[in-house]
Amino acid sequence: MENFTAIWNIYESSFPEDEKRSLNLQLEILKNPNYQMKALEDDGRVLGFISFWDIGEYVFIEHFAIDDSFRGRNYGSKFLNTFLNEADKKIVLEVEKPEDNITKRRISFYQRLDFKLNAYDYTQPPLEEGKNAIPLLLMTYPEAMDQEQFNKVKEALYRVVYSNEIK
C-alpha cells in the first residue's frame, strides 16, 4: 500500500492502545476486501488518513485522523466532507462518550458535519488479545438511527469488522 508508513505513523500517534491494532493484525486486515485505508493528501504530503469498512447498508469509518502538525487548519472537515459527498451509502462511526473536553469537541466536530449522535449503549469488542472492550457511542450520517436500525448496524459491525478479533 502506497504511503503506508506515513499513515501508520499517524495511526500510532493518534489513537489509544485499546483503539488500534498491532502492525501484524493491521497488515492482515488490509487484505480484507471490505476494508480500505486511504491517505489524505494535499500537494503530495500525507496529512492524515481514513480507514473504513463496507458493512452493507452503511460504510463504517473505523479510523480518521489528521497529523498533529496539520490540525486546526480545516483539513479534517475538508477531507471528511469529500468522503461524505463521494459515499453512496449511509455512514457510521464510533466515538467515545462525552466525558471530557476532548471527547465533547470530537463529537461537536462530527455534528458540525451533520452526523447524528445515537444514544444507544454500544461496546467496541477488543481489537485483539490483550486489548480491552470500550464503551462507545455510534454517530451516523445523514440521519439518526432508531433502535431497530441500531441493532442491525451493531450486528453488522460485530460480524464484519470485529469477527476476526473476537476471541
Q: For the segment 73-116, what is each residue's pLDDT rounded down to a tens digit?
A: 999 999 999 999 999 999 999 999 999 999 999 999 999 999 99
Nearest of 66, 8, 61 to residue 35 by alpha carbon:
61
Q: For the segment 46-56, what is each residue's pLDDT rounded down to a tens digit?
A: 999 999 999 99
Task: Provide the pLDDT confidence category of residue 167 given band limits of 50, 70 and 90.
Answer: very low
Please provide the DSSP assignment of 116-137 as one string: EEEEEEEEEPPSSTTPPPEEEE
Give yes or no for a contact between 81 and 113, defined as CB atoms under 8 angstroms apart: yes
Which fold is adopted by the domain 4-161?
Aminopeptidase (3.40.630)
For the chain, the structural domain boundaries read 4-161
Phi first, then psi, for residue 158 (nearest 5°) are -65, -40
